[in-house]
Amino acid sequence: MDGSTAGTRYDETYAAWRRDPEAFWMAAARGVAWDRGPDRAFDPGQGVYGRWFLGGMLNTCHNAVDRHVQAGRGAQPAIIYDSPITNRAPVTITYADLQSRTAKLAGALAARGVGKGDRVVIYMPMVPEAAVAMLACARLGAVHSVVFGGFAAAELAARIADAEPRAIVSASCGIEPGRVIAYKPLLDAAIALSPHKPACCLILQRPELPCDLTPGRDEDLLAAEAAAAPHPCVSVAATDPLYVLYTSGTTGQPKGIVRDNGGHAVALTNSMRMVYGVEPGDVYWAASDVGWVVGHSYIVYAPLLAGCTSVLYEGKPVGTPDAGAFWRVCAEHKVRVLFTAPTAIRAIKKEDPQGALLARYDLSALDALYLAGERCDPDTQVWATDLLKKPVVDHWWQTETGWSITGGFRGLGLFPLKPGSGGKAAPGYDVVALDEAGQEVPRGQIGSLAVRLPLPPSCLPTLWNADDRFREAYLETFPGYYSTADAGMVDADGYVWVMSRTDDIINVAGHRLSTGAMEEVLASHPDVAECAVVGVKDSLKGQVPMGLVVLKSGVTKDEATIAKELIGMVRDRIGPVAAFKDAKVVNRLPKTRSGKILRATLRKIADGEDYVVPPTIDDPMILTEMEGTLRAAMR
């Protein structure tokens, strides 16, 4: 690829947005079917910092489903459900099938009193009914709030209490490797804990573990859907909420990220071509979960808005059945773009470091691998690039934004990539690095990454019923900017480097150092599969870094030797100022279900502080292991 040509296309597009943002987004809005076109792109006098596409009326479900059927593409696959965890053959759902199911489930919800503006909590595993339920809510103009399946009862109760749903859509169970998780007892306990009670619950009975239904409240979801009359799409204002997605808050009370209908539809439709370079009819796979923002944006909404085929995968990157699972799915379904988290690639790399399993599969249809969720260390990015012989693009975005802040843009002619960076700012985002006083730091220096207001379409306009909390959490730190709470830099070429959360910048004897930079060094060791660096208290230096590493399968080298090598590498590449003198080999690292390493929890354990077991943790038992390792190391 000619990098200069690619850079020119990106530069021209970014300059066009900078020159006239409203014209840029009004042009993008032509990719959406409106019941009534917006009066203007952006009104700075509305909402907390402004609102997008005021005056516009539309329906997101119509845009994602019905319009493709009306255009004669009803026979095209909309969703491919691939579930190795249940050992069932993949199931294809066409756009016509999806329209029928969505309309009938919308009818079932409407018959039970759900209407425009009402909330519906969806507590589901990775099954097609989760996507159908989301789209059915959108069809009615109801506001869905998806909670990750298997979340603890107290966490689910907090979300029910805040959203006050009229109905809950759930399933009898979820399935993990080697175990079945009963959802119904968790749901019952959550409803008992919550001061708000839903009027009804629709339950998907899974054959692996059916459940008893509570009389007068619970009904079989499939039976209710089958008996219902189809419901048409309800037109809503562009500024009406489509969904609320809760993310953890510093106060313990979850923050309800609001996504509006109009800006969301415009930005996500535009992103499929601009960011990922896919066209209607292409197969796109986001290997995530509908409980996370990636699942909302790129399993359900964006691929369907763009008329693509979306893969909905119920499985793991390893163990279902092996580390070739992702390559099997890509080959079997002719996936053009795969989007997953760096931790998934590291898990594959750990189990199959030579990539031997890839040889079983034909990946000729695959054009690119996109990574997000946490920073991808350069070693993993280079490993995947060498293995796949395809572009591997790290891109940075957040639950709050709903799509990428930075990245590489295949639709604009992918520019040369810099492993370790998150790419360049997407048209719509003005990204800067600021010092503590809110002043831009020179290019190449680490600061707090922020986005100059206004945020582009699809970014949160506020928090659910909490405008003041939204201002305090995101806008007050740096007036005129959205604070990302990520630390990093913008280099001389405009590439953005996201090094860590701002609370992962450690202060070693007065020197501000990025734990992400140290992790980058550790990850480059040939025996290391994945790693984390946390800052722990030190009476002399204030904080010192501790490295935790998981080794690749088959490594037999002495752990003390590996630790010595790692310490030497950090000293050579970052310098003695890092004071990196402690590297521990561990069996595994504590992570959220979406694959993010729980660094803040690790730091509290190492410092001997009390901590709360995060509700998003994949396996709580690992924290007991970490307590023994870390606290023994600190004695």
Longest dimension (CA), the chain: 71
pLDDT of residue 2: 41
pLDDT band of residue 4 (cuts 50, 70, 90) is very low
What is the average per-residue pLDDT within 79-106?
97
Which of 377, 327, 328, 319 is CA-nearest to residue 351?
319
Convert the pLDDT of each residue in 253-309 to its tens digit: 778 999 999 999 999 999 999 999 999 999 999 999 999 899 999 999 999 999 999
**Looking at the predicted structure, is the pLDDT value of residue 419 above 50?**
yes
Question: Is-cis flag, bond preceding 230, omega within 30?
Answer: no
User: How remote is the C-alpha of 231 from its chain's centroid?
Assistant: 31
**Looking at the predicted structure, is the pLDDT value of residue 61 above 90?**
yes
pLDDT of residue 601: 82
What is the average per-residue pLDDT within 423-442?
95
Lowest mean pLDDT among 368-382, 389-403, 465-479: 368-382
Domains of the chain, start order? 513-634 (3.30.300.30)
**Looking at the predicted structure, is the pLDDT value of residue 250 above 60?**
no
pLDDT of residue 372: 92
- Single-letter code of the amino acid located at 30: R
pLDDT of residue 393: 96
pLDDT greater at residue 10 or residue 582 = 10
Lowest mean pLDDT among 263-272, 312-321, 564-573: 564-573
Q: What is the DSSP string of 139-204?
A: HHT-EEEEEETT--HHHHHHHHHHH--SEEEEESEEEETTEEEE-HHHHHHHHHH-SS--SEEEEE
pLDDT of residue 5: 57
**Looking at the predicted structure, is the pLDDT value of residue 507 above 80?**
no
pLDDT of residue 328: 98
What is the average per-residue pLDDT within 542-546?
80
Matching residue, tokens 């369907």: 304
**Looking at the predicted structure, is the pLDDT value of residue 365 above 60?**
yes
pLDDT band of residue 581 (cuts 50, 70, 90) is confident
Mean pLDDT, the chain, as a whole number? 91
What is the average per-residue pLDDT within 225-236?
98
**Looking at the predicted structure, is the pLDDT value of residue 498 above 60?**
yes
pLDDT of residue 600: 78
Distance of alpha carbon 571 from alpha carbon 501, whole angstroms: 23
pLDDT band of residue 619 (cuts 50, 70, 90) is confident
Q: Are 79 and 101 in contact (CB under 8 A)?
A: no
Matching residue, tokens 């088959």: 554
pLDDT band of residue 1 (cuts 50, 70, 90) is very low
Which of 172, 80, 179, 64 is CA-nearest to residue 124?
172
Convert the pLDDT of each residue in 435-460 to its tens digit: 989 999 999 998 999 999 999 999 99
CA angle 219, 221, 226 (to 5 degrees): 110
pLDDT of residue 7: 64
Global pTM reads: 0.84
Provide the token pair at 451: 């986005």
**Looking at the predicted structure, is the pLDDT value of residue 251 above 50?**
no
Convert the pLDDT of each residue in 584-594 to its tens digit: 899 888 887 66
